[in-house]
Amino acid sequence: MYGSIRIEPNLHSKPLPNLDENLGFGKLFTNHMFMMDYEEGQGWHDPRIIPYGPISHDPAAMVFHYGQAVFEGMKAFRTENDEVVLFRPDQNAKRLNRSSERLSIPQMDEEFVVRAIQELVRVDAAWVPKKKGSSLYIRPFIIATEAILGVRPSMKYSFIIIMSPVDAYYDEGLQPINILVESYYARSVQGGTGNAKVAGNYAASLKAQTLAKEHNCAQVLWLDAIEKKYLEEVGSMNVFFKINGEVVTPSLSGSILEGITRGSIIHLLKEWGISVSERKISIDDIVQAHADGTLEEAFGTGTAAVVSPIGSLLWNGTPMVVNHGEIGQLVERLYTTITGIQCGKLPDTFDWLLKV
């Protein structure tokens, strides 16, 4: 499919940085990137691994004007046995195609996408850090490159994969965060692009994120855009609550991103025999549970942080403190289990890892 991947080694490679030092998130990139192009009539073609470096486009390229761009986020881990593994990459390839479909971007063979990621990670395998909690963040993305100002789907695209060694999201393990419940700005709506990993969704979220920071909150909890009542997601994470022993998370309404970590967590909870339900959750449900003392835990889930305990929710100017602002037992167990599987400390019972 698409021909074999040509490899052009980087003759001006940067020396490998000290991966035990502070890496930050998405600031430092490896020596190579993957690229493949699409042209109407020709399809996807010329898959290649080339030196990491600037890409050049006509200023009329459609991505600059009409935001026709989708992406994925995933990680490679170095296990305790010094193997390099990917976490559920088939799920990312599937979602990439779903996002593309929503934006009228041509589909790609999912097995090929996984193979392209594997080959690129192999080439820069030395960049996969070993430090506890660190990983190689992988960013596949597709951009519309045709140079024309008419509003219609582009007839040319580039699929690119870049990689960045990143630290654990929280330096000192898990740490509860404050969340602002946002009732003015909207991230998405049914019939929109909220359930796709689309560039424009993120641009639309920046303003509310700034507002959150001003309120000393790390992220925003989005309410549905229609009734401003039902919970959607937290910043770039899905959200879960443990109420009176039951774990609940908003059902996929059409405007919520179907997180891969979200799916993994639901799977784990079911395996553990913990009651978990995907349903509409109103902010009033949370206020009520907080008031009557049944709101036991709250957390966000995503590739970057895995799970992120919520210490308090700021709603209508009043903070609702969750679990005394401390890390809950369930969050701790989920974090330990998923990161344990990822770093090879725990058995890969569900066949989630793919060796590179």
55 is an interface residue for a second copy by CB under 8 A? yes
Size of the site for a second copy (CB under 8 A): 65
User: How near is the Cβ of 210 to a second copy at its closest, in Å?
Assistant: 6
- Look at residues 296, 261, 345, 299 and name the one whose alpha carbon lies nearest to residue 175: 299
User: How near is the Cβ of 63 to a second copy at its closest, in Å?
Assistant: 6
Here the tokens at position 304 are: 């970057």
Q: Is the Cβ of residue 5 or residue 198 nearer to a second copy in the bound state?
A: 198
The C-alpha angle 120, 125, 127, rounded to 5 degrees, equals 110
Contact 241, 281 (CB under 8 A): yes
Q: Considering only residues 66, 112, 169, 170, which one is a binding residue for a second copy as defined by CB under 8 A?
A: 66
Q: Considering only residues 23, 93, 116, 186, which one is a binding residue for a second copy as defined by CB under 8 A?
A: 186
Task: Give the span between the Cα atoms of 196 and 206, in whole angstroms.
Answer: 17
User: How near is the Cβ of 298 to a second copy at its closest, in Å?
Assistant: 21
- Look at residues 182, 252, 188, 244 and name the one whose alpha carbon lies nearest to residue 219: 182
199 is an interface residue for a second copy by CB under 8 A? yes
Q: Is the Cβ of residue 187 or residue 262 nearer to a second copy in the bound state?
A: 187
189 is an interface residue for a second copy by CB under 8 A? yes
Q: Is the Cβ of residue 205 or residue 264 nearer to a second copy in the bound state?
A: 205
Here the tokens at position 186 are: 């909207």
Task: Give the span between the Cα atoms of 89 and 114, in whole angstroms.
Answer: 6
126 is an interface residue for a second copy by CB under 8 A? no
Q: Considering only residues 15, 41, 54, 245, which one is a binding residue for a second copy as defined by CB under 8 A?
A: 54
Q: Is the Cβ of residue 11 or residue 149 nearer to a second copy in the bound state?
A: 149
User: How near is the Cβ of 248 to a second copy at its closest, in Å?
Assistant: 25
Task: Give the span between the Cα atoms of 69 and 58, in whole angstroms.
Answer: 16
Contact 95, 74 (CB under 8 A): no
Q: Is the Cβ of residue 183 or residue 336 nearer to a second copy in the bound state?
A: 183
Q: Considering only residues 44, 87, 141, 352, which one is a binding residue for a second copy as defined by CB under 8 A?
A: 141
Q: β-strand 43-51 against 6-7: which pairing, if any?
A: parallel
The C-alpha angle 192, 198, 199, rounded to 5 degrees, equals 120
Residue 173: count of CB within 10 angstroms of its CB:
14
Task: Give the span between the Cα atoms of 83 and 77, in whole angstroms.
Answer: 8
Contact positions vs a second copy (CB under 8 A): 25-27, 29, 33, 52-60, 63-69, 71, 102-104, 137, 139, 141, 143, 147-153, 160, 162, 164, 184-193, 198-207, 209-210, 225-226, 235-236
